[in-house]
Chain A
């Protein structure tokens, strides 16, 4: 790309971003602000503590566990053990769509359950109240599963949610009750919660139902949360191609699907950050390989479908995939060709998630737009640099606190779906089997990579690069838009979507076209202000606290 032609030297940009920080902070932040080189892939400091006070995008472990991973499964009663807020804020705010087969089917997603912990529970312990709450949930709803989520005070006062869950599970007999120690202070971001959730789902759900699943090409979709209906579009495509979706972790999913997941023959991973642990653990215990795919972007969807067909190695499936791609693509092509002249050459910045900042670059490149800077909110080095870096990652005190499950092959159910030689052959063909090469390899030389971007850095970047669109979340949305630049939310999609698959690509093209070319951005100045500006009084884009 021509970033180095259009923009200042990225090393200078980095200096600009950190110069205002206290020296210790500046030193630390410098390691997370990296000038990319896809050939050598420099090291990015990631998954480390956020500097207090810096104004971070990050949330907590509970958000990653309950909010992200467990939230989308519709027939679990998720009880949050703690003061009321934690459950309240995670109530329906992540747009995990779900579709039951009938009005009789269980769907607890529109509900919010909490023990509403009070001062006396903090002082004298909250286990008794928790057990009463579990009993009441059971009596009212008779759900298949009840999950308990620990919030900050729970860990500190020593409530044992696992013991309480076990006691109630044994008491009920027909309801699987299990707990998560996902207190908000664990780890350094949502990421810790993802790991804790993976462990819990693996321990308490996967493998409980051995009924063989039907279908010739059976897979699980991992790390897809059906925000804005993304999973529906992927399901549509799978149906058309003839691929059986055994279970989804966890968009539009049910308990019984997840309990049956180990009967699939492949795990495809979308959001590497939030679910890679599950892929690894299922491979070890059941012999199911996992493969990194991406259904964000029309070309990426086509590519991912081809990879899946290649994995199963079935000529009929391969032909069907080609047929479906040939059927879907013309409409996508017609629309992008109409939009391209209006988006080509524009620039984007993406600071979001643990995968989205990577995946959405595919859509922007389909739009002819350049990603000049990107970074994750809660990813690890492997999400930036690729999994080859895993052995080199130092496990610090914060990561050590997150349990690593010791997984062994299941004496009865372990069944390697492919031989070592077969897997090697597939890798030769370019399939990312049990691997992920990360974001940076795909980004251009001299683009900027920033982990855990602070508010100050975001305003500086916008001031320097003046991107045509900025992608982040709700906290950043109106800040950036106040600067006259549209912000696309990549957590909630600004209440649009889906953005996966062929339909999703079309939706995204149209949304971005609408946003970057919206006449409203030209209406900001009043006519009398414009008149004054032509007299040389306009100062243009600036952040208010940048005084120089």
Chain B
């Protein structure tokens, strides 16, 4: 038993988190900044933060993840990190020549009270930022929220610091991507293209974190939302924020700064969330949905109907991030499955309310908890008390899955031991079809493994 010390008896904890279902803000900020073309993320804190975030993102994507650090020492921690950040900006622009440096703070620089706005202004005043180049920033203290909050804060910083309203509206819609994979962003762009709608998607990590092997390391890969695209978001007709926790704050910032109206939708994972996305897109752009998309949808529903017996009543435990868990839970319910336990380390009443609302309507007996001590240890204890047929979550779930001998689907962040998430989407009808296939395969492989010889089925 790998997790041999996890007992069945659940005791409330107040101080100790065990096996967290979240990590800290700066890694989210780093990921968001990688979705901007020509941008070098910069971690304002100790070296370890940057090293850990780069390592985790690299393990998740099997791709280069470039970022710099202010390399705080004890002196910087006492006297403030301004000198380190100014030196870093100078070195980065002369050596790595980015268009943008996206600085995020850490628990260290936040605790000592470094003011990123003031320091970046000083960098500009001191002539350390070359003409036409940008230094943007976001405050991402690790002791508030989670990695999702950091992603959201960096996105908000990007919106606030780039969007310009020229007064002349552009016939385009902003899609603010909640935390999703490059494959998902690619799929959103494809769907918009099929709908015939011009969009500005930000951030956009496709063609950044799924770069091809060419024999050449391209320091700033061809993907990512460009500065001019970001600036133009202030003139867009409308913004769609995909994810109330990770994307909506950026939409609010855009509305405040440039009066671009917005609506928030779930990340389109699963049938009904994708339906809402397509409906909303067609409504705001005033286009009709092409047959191609209707047929895609039809194929998904077809599989859901044909294979319904294998989903019915299957009990699922899941953990992960708010904006992904909500539509995923809804999709499981649409598949006639039974989400039994749900855990997210990301705190917040908004998410709690949304999930409660969904569960109250469709699955009131589900165990659900988010925030402090809502960790995998608790989830595992719940699973021991009330076993499940399937576990869905990031790579760390494999320890629980092995101990409890439960089929396991990797979903969320980070996935450190499999590939696929950066290439094949979970969003849209085709992404949902892939999810359905994964769920079916996991359940059917288990049935095949466990079936008595006389009950072993050829056709399923």
Which of A's residues lie within 8 Å of B, judged by CB?
20-22, 25, 49-63, 79, 82-93, 103, 106-108, 110-119, 121-122, 129-137, 139-141, 151-153, 155-157, 183-189, 397-398, 401, 454-456, 459, 473-475, 477-484, 524-525, 541-545
Of the A-B pairs whose beta carbons lie under 8 Å apart in the complex, a sample of 27, sorted by A's number, is A21-B95, A22-B91, A22-B94, A50-B47, A55-B96, A60-B49, A84-B24, A85-B52, A89-B55, A91-B396, A112-B18, A114-B16, A122-B111, A140-B5, A152-B106, A184-B46, A185-B46, A185-B77, A188-B73, A474-B59, A475-B54, A478-B62, A482-B215, A524-B214, A543-B217, A544-B216, A544-B220
Given the complex, which residues of A lie within 8 Å of B54, measured CB to CB?
A: 475
Q: Please measure, in the bound complex, the distance between the C-alpha atom of A91 and the C-alpha atom of B58, giving whole angstroms.
A: 16
A357 to chain B, nearest CB (A): 17
Bound-complex Cα distance A136 to B15 (A): 7
Task: Decide: A136 and B14 in contact? CB cutoff 8 A.
Answer: yes
* One of B141-149, B157-165, B282-290, B321-329 at the interface: B141-149
Cβ-neighbour of B74 out of A129, A398, A475 (below 8 A)? A398
Residues in chain A near residue B94, CB distance under 8 A: 20-22
A286-B46 Cα distance, complex, nearest whole Å: 37
B45, closest chain A residue (CB): A152
B91 and A54 contact, CB distance less than 8 A: yes
Question: Known pairs A93-B59, A130-B15, A525-B215. 14 more at Cβ < 8 A?
Answer: A53-B69, A53-B89, A63-B52, A89-B53, A136-B11, A137-B16, A152-B106, A184-B48, A475-B51, A475-B65, A524-B214, A544-B217, A544-B218, A545-B220
Q: A93 and B55 in contact (CB under 8 A), knowing A110-B3, A188-B73, A478-B62?
A: yes
Assess the A50–B71 pair: CB atoms within 8 A. yes
> Is the C-beta of B68 less than 8 angstroms from some C-beta in chain A?
yes
Contact of A52 among B87, B108, B377 (CB under 8 A): B87
In the complex, chain A residues whose CB is within 8 Å of the CB of B72 = 152, 184-185
> Do B48 and A456 touch (CB < 8 A)?
no
B13 at the binding interface (Cβ < 8 Å): yes
- The answer to whether the Cβ of B90 comes within 8 Å of any Cβ in the partner chain is yes
List residues 78-131 of chain B with CB under 8 A from any CB of chain A.
84-85, 87-92, 94-97, 106-108, 111-112
A60 to B65, alpha carbons, bound, how many Å? 18
| A53 in contact with B91 (CB, 8 Å) | yes
Contact across chains for A456 and B13 when beta carbons are under 8 A apart: no
Q: Mark B1-18, 1 if CB is under 8 A from A, else 0.
A: 111110100010111111
**Residue of A52, A90, A93 touching B71 (CB-CB under 8 A):** A52
Whether B372 and A189, one on each chain, are in contact in the complex, defined by CB atoms closer than 8 angstroms, is no
A52-B71, A544-B219 as given contacts; A111 in contact with B26, CB under 8 Å: no
CA distance A91 to B56 in the complex (A): 11
Chain B residues contacting A482 (CB-CB under 8 Å) are: 64, 211, 213-218
- Tell me, in angstroms, the Cα distance from A85 to B51 when the chains sit together: 12
Separation of A112 and B84 alpha carbons in the complex (Å): 32
The 8 A CB mask of B249-278 against A (1 = contact, 0 = none) is 000000000000000000000000000000
Q: Which residue of chain A lies nearest to B63 when distances are taken between CB atoms in the complex?
A: A478
Instruction: Give min CB distance, B26 to chain A, whole Å.
Output: 7
Give, as a whole number of angstroms, the nearest-CB distance from B325 to chain A: 18
Which residue of chain B is the closest to A455 with respect to CB atoms? B66
Contacts of A114 in B (CB 8 A): 16-17, 20
Q: How far is the CB of A156 from chain B (nearest CB, A)?
A: 5
B146 nearest CB neighbor, chain A only? A84
**B421 smallest CB distance to A (angstroms):** 16
Alpha-carbon distance A51/B17, docked complex (angstroms): 35
A-chain residues with CB within 8 Å of residue B45 when the two chains form the complex: 152, 184
Is B366 an interface position by the 8 A CB rule? Answer: no
- Bound-state CA distance A195–B450 (Å) is 52
B5 adjacent to A108 (CB under 8 Å): yes
Which residues of chain B come closer than 8 Å to A454, judged between CB atoms?
A: 95
A-B contact count (CB 8 A): 281
The reply on B37 being an interface residue by CB < 8 A is no
The answer to whether A56 touches B23, judged by C-beta atoms less than 8 angstroms apart, is no
- A131 — which chain B residues lie within 8 A by C-beta? 15
How far, in whole Å, are A525 and B216 apart by their CA atoms in the complex? 11
Closest residue to B55 on the A side, CB-wise?
A474
Q: Chain A contacts of B107 at CB under 8 A?
A: 82-83, 85, 117, 122, 151-153
A62 CB contacts on chain B under 8 angstroms: 48
User: A187 with B73: in contact, given A22-B94, A474-B58 (CB under 8 Å)?
Assistant: yes
- Per the bound structure, the CA–CA distance linking A456 and B217 in Å amounts to 12
CB proximity of A110 to chain B, nearest CB, Å: 5
Given B71, B90, B215, which contacts A56 in the complex, CB threshold below 8 Å? B71
| Closest B residue, CB atoms, query A137 | B16
Whether the pair B84, A52 counts as a contact (CB closer than 8 A) is: yes
A491 to B54, CA, bound (A): 15
Establish whether residues A60 and B91, one from each chain, have CB atoms under 8 Å apart when the complex forms: no
A132 x B16 contact (CB < 8 A):
yes
Whether B70 is near chain A, meaning CB under 8 Å from some CB there, is yes
Interchain CA distance A449-B56 in the complex, whole Å: 29
- Flag if A185 contacts B74 (CB, 8 Å): yes
CA distance A492 to B73 in the complex (A): 27
Task: Determine the distance from Cα of A496 to Cα of B177 in the docked complex, in whole angstroms.
Answer: 37
C-alpha gap A56/B50 in the complex (Å): 9
State whether B64 touches A83 (Cβ < 8 A).
no
* Interfacial chain A residues near B214, Cβ < 8 Å: 482, 524
Q: Which of B14, B62, B216 contacts A483 (CB 8 A)?
A: B216
Q: Which residues of A contact B73 (CB under 8 A)?
A: 49, 185, 187-188, 398
Whether B111 lies near A157 (C-beta < 8 A) is yes
Residues of B within 8 A of A137 (CB): 16
A524 to B217, CA, bound (A): 13
Complex alpha-carbon distance, A456 and B73, angstroms: 22
Q: Are the C-beta atoms of B16 and A51 separated by less than 8 Å?
A: no
Per the bound structure, the CA–CA distance linking A541 and B53 in Å amounts to: 28
Which residues of the partner chain A approach B53 to less than 8 Å between Cβ atoms? Answer: 89
